[in-house]
Amino acid sequence: MESSDNGPNVVFFEASEADQTYLQARLQTVAPVFLTELLNRSSAHAARDAEVASVFIHSRVDSETLNLLPRLRCIATDPRATTISTSRPATGAASL
């Protein structure tokens, strides 16, 4: 994932084709990356340059995962059913 001149680097995890179609039509000022995999320690490398990450209910957003995303500034999630660690990352990652 490379830096975009069109706004922040945005990554959507657990994104279906329908999600991608819907979001691309509405996100005119960014060039998002869509991944079908969930966010966890193993998949974080795919979003290492992300400034914004969108996750859904199966993603694991803990301090170890956040430490692998040093540029992350915002996490958007489904507010109905996601577990988010509230412990502060040791260094270099966004705090919740």
pLDDT, tens digit (0-9, with 9 covering 90-100), for 45-62: 999 999 999 998 889 889
Domain boundaries, the chain: 10-77
Query: pLDDT averaged over the chain?
Result: 79
Q: Which of 15-19, 27-31, 65-69, 88-92 has the lowest mean pLDDT?
A: 88-92
Task: Tell me the whole-structure pTM to 2 decimals.
Answer: 0.72
| Alpha-carbon gap, residue 70 to 81, rounded angstroms | 25
| Alpha-carbon gap, residue 81 to 68, rounded angstroms | 23
pLDDT band for 5, please (50, 70, 90 cuts). Answer: low
Residue 59 near residue 11 (C-beta atoms within 8 A): no
Give the pairing type, strands 52-55 and 74-77. parallel
Tell which wins on pLDDT, 68 or 88: 68
When the candidates are 1.10.3720.10, 3.40.50.1220, 1.10.287.130, 3.40.50.720, the CATH number that belongs to 10-77 is: 3.40.50.720
